[in-house]
């Protein structure tokens, strides 16, 4: 009797056929939507990268247009610390970031002071030697302090700015420390042994 119901009900096979076609259609639509979603996601990431790049360029341009500090005369020996100078500049520019560019005068001096202060912060107590840092870590530390280093390879650009400064020593390849931590060392970073 159950066999007769299955054979005798022609609408069951028609309904099953229609549902299978609808299922295939929905599967195809889902695949198309997934592809569309992936394209939109890729496009959104590209737009976000472009937006971030334009924001960085805008901030860099603002920094270049901001009024520069007047150089102090040679008779004036008391200079403000780098952190005070950065705060004053940030307030004068009404900007959150300070960008250093090699076209500005004394960029090497400013970067050297910033690196010196960064390394000095690694000292466990005043006068005790701190930990030398890899130049890539120094770049990250400076950027966290809102000091931008220009160039294609910012790490190598930083090394180029500080390599002849007598305050720094390279105890190991790629690592930089302060000369005062290594009093027995006869050479600074820029001199070859």
Domain boundaries, the chain: 14-63, 97-181
> Phi and psi (nearest 5°) for 168?
-115, 150
Q: What is the pLDDT of residue 105?
A: 44
**What's the whole-number mean pLDDT along residues 116-136?**
86
Does the pLDDT at position 85 exceed 70? no
Q: Residue 187: what pLDDT?
A: 62
- What pLDDT does residue 106 have? 53
| pLDDT on residue 184 | 79
Give residue 77's pLDDT.
Answer: 45
For 50-78, letters b (16+ CB in 10 Å) and e give: eeeeeeeeebeeebeebeeeeeeeeeeee
With a cut of 80, say whether residue 108 has pLDDT above it.
no
Q: Above pLDDT 90, what percent of the chain?
A: 10
Q: In this model, does residue 7 exceed pLDDT 50? A: yes
Q: Is the pLDDT of residue 193 over 70?
A: no
Q: How far is CA 76 from the centre of its chain?
A: 36
> Does position 53 have pLDDT exceeding 80, yes or no?
yes
97-181 under CATH 1.10.1060, yes or no: no
Axis crossing angle, helix 154-162 with helix 135-144, rounded to the nearest 10: 100
- The confidence score (pLDDT) of residue 189 equals 61
The predicted structure's pLDDT at residue 57: 86
User: In this predicted structure, which of 61-70, 150-159, 167-176 has the lowest mean pLDDT?
Assistant: 61-70
Does this model's pTM top 0.75? My answer is no
pLDDT at 10: 61
pLDDT at 148 (0 to 100): 81
> How far are the Cα atoms of 1, 6, 67 from residue 137, in angstroms, in the given order?
82, 75, 30
Question: What is residue 184's three-state secondary structure?
Answer: coil
CA distance 85 to 71: 12
Mean pLDDT of the chain: 75
Q: Which residue has the higher pLDDT, 162 or 7?
A: 162
Distance from C-alpha of 99 to C-alpha of 137, rounded to nearest angstrom: 18
Report the range of poorest mean pLDDT among 30-39, 118-127, 170-179.
118-127
Q: What is the DSSP string of 45-108?
A: HHHHHHHHHHHHHHHHHHHHHSPPPPPPPTT------HHHHHHHHHHHHT-S-EEE-TTSTTHH
pLDDT of residue 15: 92
């Amino acid at each position: 009797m159950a066999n007769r119901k299955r054979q005798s009900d022609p609408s069951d096979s028609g309904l099953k056929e229609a549902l299978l076609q609808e299922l295939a259609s929905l599967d195809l639509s889902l695949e198309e939507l997934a592809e569309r979603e992936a394209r939109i996601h890729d496009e959104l990431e590209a737009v976000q990268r472009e937006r971030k790049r334009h924001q960085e360029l805008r901030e860099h341009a603002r920094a270049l247009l901001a009024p520069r500090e007047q150089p102090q005369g040679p008779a004036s020996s008391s200079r403000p610390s780098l952190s005070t100078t950065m705060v004053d500049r940030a307030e004068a520019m009404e900007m959150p970031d300070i960008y250093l560019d090699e076209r500005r005068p004394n960029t090497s001096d400013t970067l050297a002071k910033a690196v010196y202060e960064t390394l000095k912060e690694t000292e466990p107590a005043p006068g005790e030697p701190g930990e030398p840092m890899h130049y890539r870590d120094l770049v990250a530390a400076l950027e966290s302090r809102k000091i931008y280093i220009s160039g294609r390879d910012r790490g190598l650009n930083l090394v180029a700015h500080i390599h002849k400064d007598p305050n720094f020593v390279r105890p190991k390849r790629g690592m930089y420390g302060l000369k005062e931590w290594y009093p027995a060392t006869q050479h600074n970073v820029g001199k070859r042994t």
